[in-house]
Structure 1
Amino acid sequence: MRNLSSSLDLPGAGAARPLRGNSFVPQGYPDPAMPAPVSSLEQLKRQPRQPGEASFFYYDPHFQLNSAKVLPGEYFVSRDEMAIVTVLGSCIAACLWDRFMRIGGMNHFMLPDGDSSDVSGRYGSYAMELLINEMLKLGARRESMQAKIFGGAQVMANFTTMNVGERNTSFVTEYLQTERIPIVSEDVLDIYPRKVVFFPSTGKAMVKRLAHAHPEALVQQEISRGSAAAVARNTAGGSVDLF
């Protein structure tokens, strides 16, 4: 998986205290030396969830972390030391992170927009608004958010006329530019499905490009909001990159 990690300095943010080296933390932000909180798996499972919020949690023995699985149309935001996981074809996952508040979140949308009467996380405009608002509710600040974007693959040859992956990628790029949220890393387009693991307390992301034997199954999983675990079982191979 590829590693996307980068920093964001806020000029003119007022008084600051040293972080590391020449970096500073503005007043009013948490002490960076404090460890990220850790919720138990049972706490994650018992906590009431909003419509569209990911609700499947499990322990990942590889990362030795509790993990949230984000399905198509869902999102998840946290400040915990944990992992947020999804599997993508032509869909896009936007991962937002506030470096100073150490709050991060991920969404997974299928199309740029839909019918105005259909307010759903399946569509990019609503999915992005929902993700940003939920991060703000948890204490993140818009001016210190940065983004990493993944997905938008052309996983089936006969999908070329629809250009779903390209449309999704163009949408999220333009949306973030309009919102003045910098994209610090991306792994988009191409023809490969991807498994994305995002760590909300550090802003790091890991991406594995998947060699899929049955692309139709992946597309159907995305369309039907199928289980990301089922998608993963139908995929194999690929390198791991850290972002």
Structure 2
Amino acid sequence: MPGRMERMRAERRASGEASFFYREVAFNADAVKVMPGEYFVHSEDLVITTTLGSCIAACLWDRQAAVGGINHFMLPGDGASDDGGRYGSCAMELLINALIKRGATRRTLEAKVFGGAALIAGNGALNVGQRNTSFVLDYLRTEEIPLVSQDVLGPYPRKVCFFPKTGRAMVRRLPPAQREAAIALDQDARRRASASAAGSIDLF
């Protein structure tokens, strides 16, 4: 009989839904990795992970329904109609709608927010991490979703682990040795995000 990971790999996934399943050694647990522009929602005792530079991950959890999920967006605002979860507005709606399909309600959601780092110093007003952070905090205020914790801004790339059954989130600030890899991933993600809107975003 196939195990849970095999069953989850075989399930049909919606556009933008994460599909990289693996074993997270640190927790000896089944896991799914959310890449830039993706999201994932579940209610079982697995772990959802993502790695962030200037991008933002919003972890939303419904205490009553015991279901939670993460998104990973690269740029603030709306983007083009076909940008999916790469831009903040669409990423938040994709995540919320997926949670509602699993029994959550907007009025019982709570949020934890991570990311928004400034990996390259001296960008001033062009700091994408700051803009992403401002966007998600404003969005949560507008939607009246309580923010219960955050670890944002600063110079650190981060790895986030979220447990959707309990709402627990853990964050690890990555060491300098992993900084260059995080910068490269960050820049590549934002290039792909802005490909359909050339000139609208200043990349660094």
Interval of TM-score (by shorter of Structure 1 and Structure 2): 0.7 to 0.9
> Larger Rg: 1 or 2?
1
- Deviation sequence 1:95-119 (CA, Å, 0-9, x none): 0000011000000001102543443
Corresponding residue number in structure 1 for 2:42: 78
Corresponding residue number in structure 1 for 2:99: 135
Cα RMSD after superposing both structures: 1.7
> Does 1:173 pair with 2:137?
yes
> Does 1:217 pair with 2:181?
yes
Q: Distance in 2 between matches of 1:215 and 1:131?
A: 28
Q: Distance in 2 between matches of 1:214 and 1:201?
A: 30
- Which SS does the other structure have where 1:219 is aligned? helix
Q: How do 1:49-68 and structure 2 match up within 5 A?
A: 49-68=13-32
TM-score (normalizing by structure 2): 0.87
Greater fraction helix: 2
Q: Which moved more, 1:106-115 or 1:52-61?
A: 106-115
> Does 1:160 pair with 2:101?
no
Q: Distance in 2 between matches of 1:76 and 1:162?
A: 29
- Which SS does the other structure have where 2:172 is aligned? strand
- Deviation sequence 1:159-201 (CA, Å, 0-9, x none): 3341111110110001011111000000001110110000000
Q: How do 1:36-55 and structure 2 match up within 5 A?
A: 40-55=4-19
The count of residues paired between Structure 1 and Structure 2 equals: 188
Identical counterparts, % of pairs: 55
Q: Is the 8 A contact 2:111 2:146 kept in 1?
A: yes
Q: Distance in 1 between matches of 2:46 and 2:148?
A: 21
Which amino acid is the alignment partner of residue 70 of structure 2?
Answer: M
- Which SS does the other structure have where 1:146 is aligned? strand
Q: Is the 8 A contact 1:59 1:66 kept in 2?
A: yes
- Which SS does the other structure have where 1:111 is aligned? coil
Alpha-carbon offset, residue 214 of structure 1: 5.9
Q: Which moved more, 1:109-118 or 1:61-70?
A: 109-118
- Which SS does the other structure have where 1:224 is aligned? helix
Corresponding residue number in structure 2 for 1:103: 67
Which amino acid is the alignment partner of residue 194 of structure 1?
Answer: R
Aligned partner (choices 79, 89, 105) of residue 125 of structure 1: 89
Q: How do 1:185-200 and structure 2 match up within 5 A?
A: 185-200=149-164
Q: Is the 8 A contact 2:78 2:90 kept in 1?
A: no
TM-score (normalizing by structure 1): 0.73
> Structure 2, unaligned stretches of length 5 or more?
191-204
Q: Is the 8 A contact 2:32 2:47 kept in 1?
A: yes
> Structure 1, unaligned stretches of length 5 or more?
1-38, 227-243
- Which SS does the other structure have where 1:52 is aligned? coil
